[in-house]
Amino acid sequence: MSTAASTAGVLARAGALQHEGTPFVLATVVRAESPTSARAGDRALVLPDGTIEGFVGGSCAESTVRVEGLRLLRDRASSLLRIVPTAASAHDDREGLITVVNPCLSGGTLEIFLEAMVPPTVVHVHGDAPIARALVRIGEAMDYDVRAGGPPSASAAAVVVASHGRDEVEVLTDALRAGVPYVALVASRVRGAAVLAALDVPAADRVRVRTPAGLDLGATSPAEIALSIYAEMIGARERIQAPPAGVPEAAGPGPGLDPVCGMAVTGTAADPSAVVDGVTWWFCGPGCRQAFVDDPARFVPVAGA
């Protein structure tokens, strides 16, 4: 398959993932210094489970792209990744550049742009009062995916009830049972307490409802109140946005190193692995895995050092 055809396939797959609302990282080779198997323009996708679709280099380069891609996906960030074979070639003070020394490379240098493609934050607004309408307007201006009414979707980051008494208990109950990270009720302190008492959910869930909704900014108009609610949501960003749906809290079981070459590995099913004496070891590529399997005693002390 030609590079152009392969790239077209990756971009088509990226479009399908965006349509599904699945987060991923688009990796594009922007510079390849021989000897490398990748070429400028090669592309691949890093999926939330660590799977890589497409081509941006051999297995060792893929391992580095997987580690950094999953980290950027959790952070909702993008960056330029520079993979070099030796520490002597690692110095580069360009702002925003991630440089990784990968001794398993064939000798060339790769620069790969990693772009996290994360669906917009989904906010459900229930109600048609002035505050609800202001929540829709301001949320859309913030590039959120604001949905009026309806049950919360699986990807919902927030549910705000501003219906002034209509279906409040039902909507709040559904949101809490769905595990929506941010749930808020626009109501006075007294009425809000009464609504919470009527919720048929565990006490630990009941106290998650923010009411009165929003930060105490002295807001009075519907737009100001809506702004205070979004300010509160932003203050709770870690609970709302990290990680995106489907992305693991951390890459693998913890910080992992290939016991042969010392490279960081994710510890996901996408990494080569081997079980020796009941212990699972993860590797950057099949070469390191085979070296370990052939003589584990050479490398286990290094891994435990």
Provide the token pair at 9. Answer: 């396939």
73 shares a domain with 172: no
What is the Cα Rg of the chain in Å?
24
For residue 141, pLDDT beyond 90: yes
In this prediction, residue 264 carries a pLDDT of 84
Using CA atoms, how far apart are residues 40 and 222, in angstroms rounded to an integer?
51
107 shares a domain with 136: no
Residue 219 lies in a domain: yes
**pLDDT tens-digit readout, 177-212:** 999 999 999 999 999 999 999 999 999 999 999 999
129 shares a domain with 99: no
Tell which of 186, 209, 241 closes a domain.
241
**Tally of structural domains, the chain:** 3
113 shares a domain with 128: no
Tell which of 75, 92, 117 closes a domain.
117
289 shares a domain with 208: no
Asked if residue 210 lies in contact with residue 185, where contact means CB atoms within 8 angstroms, the answer is yes
**pLDDT tens-digit readout, 99-131:** 888 877 667 889 999 999 988 889 999 999 999
Residue range 265-270: mean pLDDT, rounded? 82
214 shares a domain with 172: yes
In this prediction, residue 92 carries a pLDDT of 73
Using CA atoms, how far apart are residues 179 and 184, in angstroms rounded to an integer?
13
The parent domain of residue 48 ranges over 3-117
